[in-house]
Structure 1
């Protein structure tokens, strides 16, 4: 005869003044949490499915956690069927975090000095066993203490908090999870824990990704400010990216920024020479303007037009001190613009020292632009200039590095 499964009918149940005492003896020091003032109700449900439809019980539970936080669970559930059937939402408000220090010390390497946690969760299981869950986590005024001596694991939690918290000290995180309850490898607890760890590790590996919400789009690409070869001038695109970075940093006062400029003699030699030549031509125009009575400020505002360029280039060429083609009587002869340019460029030198100076100028350009956007100078630093790697795809740039103050 086929084996008959038991039929279980349960409820309805009401709860008034309930209490749950929880202790974790695994963690050192031990952690204890009490759920108190529990009131609620659960309507009837059965392991049988009348007319093929799973019977879901209405669930309602209210209470307090650790004597301070409010707790609420609402929804529908039937734990007697396989797979488990449920559609519930839960809320915890203002759970004090310092009592959770044993966990943060073990898994992150830091104790918690202060902070509150509020959580909204939603769990749904479809008839085929597919589970979808969402966790909305809000941390308020979270502050970690000093590193725990000899901690087994250490995570960059302080930098993560500085990146994630807004100017009001609030961190808002959403962690969606999905999977199948029929998969024996599926465990939602370890998955959520891994998601949180990955989020924290991003503080080191991809800090600008954590700033994405305040950046108004963009991510790690904003950690690099690209320049034209041979130039230390900020392009409109670079300024747009830095505008976003400044906005994010203004919202996160615990962060500081170090700007590291870089340049490459191998990649930028010719472009740097051309930039030098353009600077000489511009200087010639400004020099002439000052001799004609213009103020230094007015002269600095001048630019070289296409009409001016040949005459100015000729003046620069005449002033240059190197052997030049001469006519029959020994005087430097007039030559076309391209030939003048070629000779001038050939006699301009570029050294490693010039590249280091260019790299520093790039860092200064970025730092000063961020300062012009009201970022305090005490939060902005210049790092040591960086040599470019031997990479054909390398681009002239300055790197932005974030750290806690």
Structure 2
């Protein structure tokens, strides 16, 4: 499992069957409630014979107050209009339209259509436009300890119910969504909301989500709110557990470049394989300054020390067997040409150490010395850190770079095996978490 889904725990309290039976609907399922009242209307409607040109409510006002939160919540619907035209007992469809101003800045337009002769089918379409997100700050402060500072939302819903089969299509578009820093609120969910929002934003800085919901309303075990909560939970968990995937889509980039900066064993200089992901990370920070990034150097030090000992032994063998020093421009090529399994290399090792049957790697380590090899790898790791930091500073022309470059420490849960790699860890507000996916070695 992942660490974040444990924080996103929904209320598992099920509605008592007796309550559902008494009410005639599931109070946790708004579509069940709506179907119940539609059924009541339809049953009366079907037994009557009448015609009404129109019926409605004009210039209505609804005020909702919630005083159960840390801060009181108030929301107002004004200019409320509800209208139904051409109502008659022979109509195949009853259509109700509604519109309203939402809290003085947003708008709502809705349409409900139902078959007056059936209690199991209806259609709902509504759109909320220009909804100011800061109005809902009392709820976000109460539940996740982060106030909403800005954001404007467009939400559209198209829902059909045919023979109790629910099919709901939801589209959520949010511009300039920003959460404030975390507040000290007891019992609030510990969720990194600023990180989540940053990861969900696309390249234009907007959040654009499409959320489908479906189910069988006649199933007594189907409860809508847990289904919706699971969908929202999955969006959060995906963003937090796979940030590189979210950023790759936002920046039209290679996901692997957003996961790690990889080096070859004993490599201490940058090539395009390292500068490409580093440049991408700098671009991410320029466009998402609220993010924090750490580059944590990981890898198998023991394996790299063995490689160092092998290479040092090869250098000595080359000099002893040829009588000339290695050409500095052809070191890698010359070392690759030496076969450590050849009789000549084995005989040379016997001459240096005396006859032995240990693996070649162990004999080369004995020749070079474990302490010397470990010290060389320590210098190499320090050199890689320095060259990465220097490159980042150079690209930012000396300005402070909001990327921390460090080695893996004992408290980290990152991998200690594999090729030398700077794993990319994401966070917000200067804090990062070392729980991440292990990158695949090249």
Q: Distance in 2 between matches of 1:384 and 1:59?
A: 64
Offset, 1:390: 11
Farther-moved stretch of structure 1 (81-90 vs 229-238): 229-238
Name 1:85's counterpart in structure 2.
Answer: 122
Name 1:208's counterpart in structure 2.
Answer: 244
Q: Distance in 2 between matches of 1:167 and 1:194?
A: 26
Offset, 1:103: 1.0
The answer to whether the 8 A contact 1:17-1:36 is kept is yes
The answer to whether the 8 A contact 2:110-2:124 is kept is no
The answer to whether the 8 A contact 2:127-2:156 is kept is yes
Distance 1:371 1:86, change over 3 A: farther
Q: Deviations over 1:115-163 (max 9, x none)?
A: 1331222223252413132231314242324413324322111222333
Distance 1:31 1:138, change over 3 A: same
Name 1:36's counterpart in structure 2.
Answer: 78
The answer to whether the 8 A contact 1:73-1:90 is kept is yes
Name 2:32's counterpart in structure 1.
Answer: none
Name 2:58's counterpart in structure 1.
Answer: 16
Name 1:291's counterpart in structure 2.
Answer: none
Name 2:433's counterpart in structure 1.
Answer: none
Alignment of 1:239-250 (within 5 A): 239-250=275-286
Q: 1:380 aligns with which of 403, 407, 414?
A: 403
- TM-score (norm: length of structure 1): 0.69
Q: 2:426 aligns with which of 393, 402, 405?
A: 402
Q: Does 1:109 align with 2:131?
A: no
Name 2:158's counterpart in structure 1.
Answer: 123
The answer to whether the 8 A contact 1:257-1:403 is kept is yes
Q: Deviations over 1:136-193 (max 9, x none)?
A: 1314242324413324322111222333346875433333333333333444444334
The answer to whether the 8 A contact 1:263-1:397 is kept is yes
Name 1:348's counterpart in structure 2.
Answer: 368
Distance 1:125 1:42, change over 3 A: same
Name 2:27's counterpart in structure 1.
Answer: none
Farther-moved stretch of structure 1 (136-145 vs 360-369): 360-369
Q: Deviations over 1:20-53 (max 9, x none)?
A: 22233544544221111123533456899x8xxx
Offset, 1:109: 1.8
Q: Does 1:176 align with 2:218?
A: no
Offset, 1:64: 0.8
Q: Secondary structure at the match of 1:147?
A: coil
Q: Secondary structure at the match of 1:177?
A: strand
Q: Distance in 2 between matches of 1:87 and 1:210?
A: 32
Q: Distance in 2 between matches of 1:158 and 1:355?
A: 38
The answer to whether the 8 A contact 2:154-2:173 is kept is yes
The answer to whether the 8 A contact 2:160-2:168 is kept is yes
The answer to whether the 8 A contact 2:171-2:210 is kept is yes
The answer to whether the 8 A contact 1:265-1:355 is kept is yes
Distance 1:98 1:279, change over 3 A: farther
Farther-moved stretch of structure 1 (364-373 vs 223-232): 364-373
Q: Secondary structure at the match of 2:191?
A: coil
Name 1:63's counterpart in structure 2.
Answer: 100
What count of residue pairs does the alignment treat as equivalent? 357
Name 1:73's counterpart in structure 2.
Answer: 110
Q: Distance in 1 between matches of 2:335 and 2:419?
A: 32
Q: Secondary structure at the match of 1:208?
A: helix
Q: Does 1:96 align with 2:96?
A: no
Q: Secondary structure at the match of 2:327?
A: helix
Name 2:179's counterpart in structure 1.
Answer: 143
Q: Deviations over 1:381-400 (max 9, x none)?
A: 11243479898974432211
The answer to whether the 8 A contact 2:167-2:215 is kept is yes
CA RMSD of superposed structures (Å): 4.5
Q: Does 1:228 align with 2:248?
A: no
What are the ranges of 5 or more consecutive residues in structure 1 without an aligned counterpart?
287-301, 312-321, 327-340
Offset, 1:252: 0.7
- TM-score (norm: length of structure 2): 0.64
Q: Distance in 2 between matches of 1:310 and 1:135?
A: 61
Q: Does 1:359 align with 2:381?
A: yes
The answer to whether the 8 A contact 2:298-2:408 is kept is yes
Q: Secondary structure at the match of 2:304?
A: helix
Q: Does 1:259 align with 2:295?
A: yes
Offset, 1:401: 1.5
